[in-house]
Amino acid sequence: MTEMPQTRGTLTPDRPLAELTWMRVGGPAEWFFQPADTADLAAFLAALDPALPVFPMGVGSNLIVRDGGIRGVVVRLGRGFNGIAIEGERVVAGAAALDAHVARKAAEAGRDLTFLRTIPGTLGGAVRMNAGCYGSYMADVFESARAVTRAGEIVTLRPEDLAFAYRHSALAPDTVITEITLRAPGGDPWALGAKMTDQLAKRDESQPTKDRTAGSTFRNPAGFSSTGRADDTHELKAWSLIDAAGMRGARRGGAMMNPKHPNFLTNAGGATAAELEGLGEEVRKKVYDSSGLTLEWEIMRVGEPAPD
C-alpha cells in the first residue's frame, strides 16, 4: 500500500461517502482527508505520491458518487475552514462555510448575498460550479480565493484565473479552495431578510427541496431561438424537454425523475448510483429522440462503477 504523508488532520482509509452526499449513494473514498488547516493541507499534498488523484468535496449537493467509490484522496474541509467575516463591503469566508450561512450573516451586516440563501452547498463548491439563482451568480461577487494546488502550492486565484461561465469555472479539478473573498452590494438588513424568506418559499413551492436530489440534473440548453432571429433568443428549459419526452416520473429501480420538477433526478429510496446515472442517460436519449437536442449533465458524476 502507498505510504501516506503525516498530517495534523484526520486521514481515514475506505471511508463511506454515501452519507456525505445529498443523493445518499456511492462507494467509499480510498482515502478521506480532513486537514487541520491550510498549511497542513499544503504540506500533505506536497508530500503525497503524485500518482494518487485528489478530489475536493463539499457537502455533495451536486454529486453522484459512483458505486465503486473514489480512488485516491477525497479532501473534505471541516472545522477551521468555515469562518465568516464581514469587512466593509467584503465578505471573507472559509470554503467549508455553507452558502446559506454566508447569505444570512452577510444580510445581518447589510450586505446582499441573498442569492446564496437557497443553494444547499458550501462556498468552495459554489465557486467551482459558479453557482447561482434568481439571476445572480458567484461570478458577479467573486473577488479572489486562496487555494492549494495538487502540488501543495498555496496560490491566490482571481476572476481571470477561473473564467466563469454558466455553471462552470476553469478551476483545476484537484485544486482545493480554502478561503473566498466576495464583494457584496449593500442593502437594508430587514429587506434582505424578507427577500430570503420569499425566495425560500418560492423554492419550496416549485422544487422538491426535501427529497434526495442533487439539484438540476441537466443544464438548460442556452441561446435557443424559435424564429432564428437574434433578438428572439431565449433559454429552453431542460425540465420542459424532459416533460415533452414523457419522462416526468420515469423510474429505474430506486431512481426517479421527480414528478414535482422533472429535471430533478431523485433517489426515491434504495437507489444505486448506477440506477440514477442510467436513468439520466435514458432521459438524454429520449429527449434527443423527441427534440433533436442533447442535454448536458449539470450533476457531476465522479468515481468508479461497482466492480461486476
Residues at the interface with ligand FAD (CB under 6 A): 22, 55-63, 77, 95, 119-122, 124-126, 128-129, 131-133, 176-177, 209, 213-215, 300
For the chain, the distance separating the N- and C-terminal CA atoms, rounded to the nearest angstrom, is 23
Is 96 in contact with 57 (CB distance < 8 Å)? no
| Shortest Cβ 30–ligand FAD spacing (Å) | 16
> Please, are residues 25 and 67 in contact by the beta-carbon 8 Å criterion?
yes
What's the min distance (Å) between Cβ of 118 and ligand FAD? 6
* Closest distance of CB 67 from ligand FAD, Å: 17
Interatomic CA distance for residues 131 and 68, integer angstroms: 28
d(CA 272, CA 31): 21
C-beta neighbour count of 236 within 10 angstroms: 16
Closer to ligand FAD by Cβ: residue 119 or 184 = 119
Residues with active-site annotation: 167, 216, 298
Residue 123 or 192 with smaller CB distance to ligand FAD:
123
The amino acid at 9: G
**Nearer CB in complex with ligand FAD: 91/286:** 91
Residue 202 or 234 with smaller CB distance to ligand FAD = 202
H/E stretch holding 45 = helix 38-47
Residue 145: CB partners within 8 Å, gap ≥ 6? 95, 127, 156, 157, 177, 178, 179, 180, 181
Instruction: Supply the minimum distance, in Å, between the C-beta of residue 146 and ligand FAD.
Output: 10
